[in-house]
């Protein structure tokens, strides 16, 4: 049985099958704590048996809000309070950067920031501004081993990125350096990319792009320092050049802050032969202008 969306548009139910990606993650030692995923490892031959099992688990583990833990009526959902703290990004927004305009001044397609410093990527889109429950969800996914959140967040991204997905040949996550991957145990961008690629039925290439340099935090750096920090950080694998050739690539990340990483990734992919690069994230930093 596939997941279902609720009427509010963002909360989703947990899948029932034993998806291979979870098995792969479990095999790599990822700690997955949601009861829904624990039982998803079981092989259930009949749909009604699966439903019965899920109902039983619902009694043992009542569903809780994915952001704050408050009781909700279905798994993988947001409570009403958290829902109201999410600033969903809707048009009018900059068609390049995807950042919302404070005022609808009509007819304007590009923000002053995009005109003054055009991004390397073609278009960026995000579900929400990086604050409130959206920020909390990103942190839980990234630092709290809550990899199961990638399903709910990825499905929200499908909606926000529908135009980009319609044009995409290939989905590529922003990679972590292998040492950071070893420490964190999973790459949150890769987890989101797998969810998105699976639902959109677009191939996901996890190996095309490599992070070959450990970069320090971008926080507090000037624009030129950020550029230096990320210079040469990403590289397309030689073996992936053929796969990328003339492809319209959609890059997936959990959050876009300054856009420097997205630009560095786009630059590497274009050098590696990609035709165009778009960027889809769950959240993006919105500076009021």
Chain residues that interact with Zn ion, rule: CB under 5 A = 65, 67-68, 70, 79, 82
3-state secondary structure at position 274? coil
* Residue closest to 127 by CA, chosen among 137, 113, 142, 119: 137
Pairwise CA distance, residues 31 & 26, whole Å: 7
Least separation in angstroms between CB 64 and Zn ion: 8
Alpha carbon separation from 178 to 181, 182, 184, 204 (Å, rounded)? 5, 6, 10, 19
Comparison of 19 and 58: residue with beta carbon closer to Zn ion: 58
Residue with tokens 């995000």: 126
Comparison of 82 and 249: residue with beta carbon closer to Zn ion: 82
Least separation in angstroms between CB 164 and Zn ion: 28
3-state secondary structure at position 129? strand
Least separation in angstroms between CB 129 and Zn ion: 17
167 with 248: CB under 8 angstroms?
A: yes
Comparison of 79 and 134: residue with beta carbon closer to Zn ion: 79
Least separation in angstroms between CB 70 and Zn ion: 5
Comparison of 42 and 70: residue with beta carbon closer to Zn ion: 70
Least separation in angstroms between CB 253 and Zn ion: 24
Beta bridge partner(s), residue 173: 252
Comparison of 24 and 70: residue with beta carbon closer to Zn ion: 70
Comparison of 92 and 132: residue with beta carbon closer to Zn ion: 132
Q: Token digits for 99?
A: 């950042």
Least separation in angstroms between CB 57 and Zn ion: 20
* Residue closest to 178 by CA, chosen among 203, 207, 154, 218: 207
203 with 237: CB under 8 angstroms?
A: no
Could you tell me the sign of the dihedral formed by the alpha carbons of 54, 141, 9, 95, in that order? negative
Angle between helices 188-200 and 20-27 (to 10 degrees): 160
């Amino acid at each position: 049985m596939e997941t279902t969306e609720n009427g509010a548009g963002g909360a989703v139910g947990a899948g029932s099958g034993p998806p291979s990606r979870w098995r792969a993650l479990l095999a790599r030692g990822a700690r997955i704590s949601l009861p829904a995923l624990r039982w998803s490892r079981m092989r259930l031959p009949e749909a009604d048996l699966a439903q019965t099992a899920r109902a039983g688990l619902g009694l043992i583990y009542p569903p809780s809000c994915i952001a704050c833990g408050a009781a909700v009526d279905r798994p993988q959902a947001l409570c009403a309070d958290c829902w109201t703290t999410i600033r969903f990004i809707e048009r009018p927004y900059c068609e390049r950067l995807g950042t919302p305009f404070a005022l609808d001044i009509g007819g304007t397609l590009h923000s002053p920031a995009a005109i003054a410093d055009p991004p390397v990527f073609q278009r960026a889109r995000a579900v929400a501004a990086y604050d409130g429950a959206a920020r909390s969800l990103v942190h839980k996914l990234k630092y709290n081993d809550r990899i199961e959140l990638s399903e709910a967040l990825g499905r929200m991204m499908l909606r926000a990125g529908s135009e980009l997905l319609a044009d995409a040949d290939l989905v590529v996550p922003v990679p972590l350096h292998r040492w950071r991957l070893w420490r964190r145990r999973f790459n949150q961008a890769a987890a989101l990319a797998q969810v998105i690629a699976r639902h959109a039925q677009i191939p996901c290439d996890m190996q095309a792009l490599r992070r070959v340099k450990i970069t320090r935090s971008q926080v507090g750096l000037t624009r030129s320092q950020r550029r230096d920090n990320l210079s040469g950080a990403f590289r397309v694998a030689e073996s992936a050049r053929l796969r990328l050739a003339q492809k319209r690539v959609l890059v997936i990340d959990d959050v876009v802050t300054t856009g420097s990483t997205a630009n560095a990734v786009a630059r590497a992919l274009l050098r590696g032969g990609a035709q165009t690069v778009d960027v889809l994230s769950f959240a993006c930093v919105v500076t009021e202008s």
